[in-house]
Structure 1
């Protein structure tokens, strides 16, 4: 299903819409097949697993390491057992057992070590999401202070540009600076000038 950015750009609006819809449906099916549900913000990843009502904390094994997560019931095959997609801050990560009307839920909160990137999966090798299609909730983005919000918006722009094989904001800024300099100095020859 993977298209290059050029192939995607060459599609008509209708073809893109159909392609995106098929990709979204496939992604949703793959995510639903996982033994856990997960969501993320730029700062953390939340993993939730439904467990029987009678589950007690001492029945569980939850081993959170900087690059690895193991979760399951004592004496049974683990539900999750593998390397994390990215490193986390173990001292800021935790798990809780929450009572639900239908049973209980094991909730694992993983604090991202590098809080400026989207994860495509929780565990390496598990079903992935398309990080270029992630848009944070507006209310959450507006809650950020000006500097952080600017950084997040720049990162989102750069991520979209990279996915489309286009220049990043820093590269565009260099190009604009060079263009201004060219206009200010028409006597100079820039034919062999290279951007680095």
Structure 2
């Protein structure tokens, strides 16, 4: 995170972290809080966090992206910290901010946690497995899937055209 991003993030009334599947928002209250003191509304596209006793609003706005409302929870830790776990609707997506209009982070600088192939959806998993296979093949000096496809197409063409002379042909 750049110095400017870091400064802007520190000015927010909350701290936040994320994984590919969820966002954790932590609000550090100046005074002890109880659940009955709080008004917390977690909606699919918005979040409201207000202390009813002090009438202080910590967060009130539209979320960066939709969440799974039924899988999102909040709790109070150490009597002061309000912790909100938001389950992202779209896994495998980094958020630039929690609330639209709030300072954004550069998501290209995020170093993702290690994930298992089993965590990926079918299409993504297939693509990653193909890339891993091609990388191993290249490292061993063997043909990649694209090379094999070209070779198979060439063989098929030769079989379908036995009268052509391919002895002087060069293929790249």
Q: Deviations over 1:116-138 (max 9, x none)?
A: 10001000000001111111234
Identify which of 73, 79, 89 aligns with 2:51: 73
SS in 2 for 1:121: coil
Residue of structure 1 in register with 2:86 after alignment: 110
Q: What secondary structure, in the 3-state scheme, does the structure 1 residue paired with 2:71 have?
A: strand
Aligned to 2:135: none
CA contact (8 A) 2:19 2:113 kept: no
Deviation at 1:147, TM superposition (A): 3.2
Q: Which aligned runs of 4 or more in structure 1 are off by greater than 6 angstroms?
A: none
Q: What's 1:180 paired with? A: 150
SS in 1 for 2:57: coil
**Root-mean-square deviation over aligned CA pairs:** 3.0
1:19-168 superposed matches below 5 A: 24-74=2-52, 76-99=55-78, 104-138=80-114, 141=115, 144=116, 146-148=117-119, 151=124
- Rounded Cα–Cα distance in structure 1 between residues aligned with 2:90 and 2:23: 12
How far apart, CA to CA, are the structure 1 residues paired with 2:25 and 2:57? 15
> In the aligned structure 1, how far is the partner of 2:90 from the partner of 2:77?
28
- Higher helix fraction (1 or 2): 1
Show CA shifts across 1:132-174 (max 9, x none). 1111234xx3xx3x3326948x79xxxxxxxxxxxxxxxxx9x
Q: Which structure 2 segments of 5+ residues have no match?
A: 129-143, 162-172
Q: 1: CA distance between counterparts of 2:30 and 2:12?
A: 17
Over 3 Å counting, the alpha-carbon distance change for 1:87 and 1:26 in structure 2 is same
2:30 and 2:14 map into 1 onto residues whose CA distance is 14
Larger radius of gyration: 2
Query: What CA deviation, in whole Å up to 9, does each residue of 1:169-191 have, x standing for no partner?
Result: xxxx9xx47x837x83699xxxx
Q: Which runs of 5+ in 1 are unaligned?
A: 1-22, 156-172, 188-196
Residue correspondences, number: 138
Displacement, 1:54? 2.7
Alpha-carbon distance in structure 2 between the residues aligned to 1:127 and 1:54: 27
Secondary structure of 1:136's partner? Answer: coil
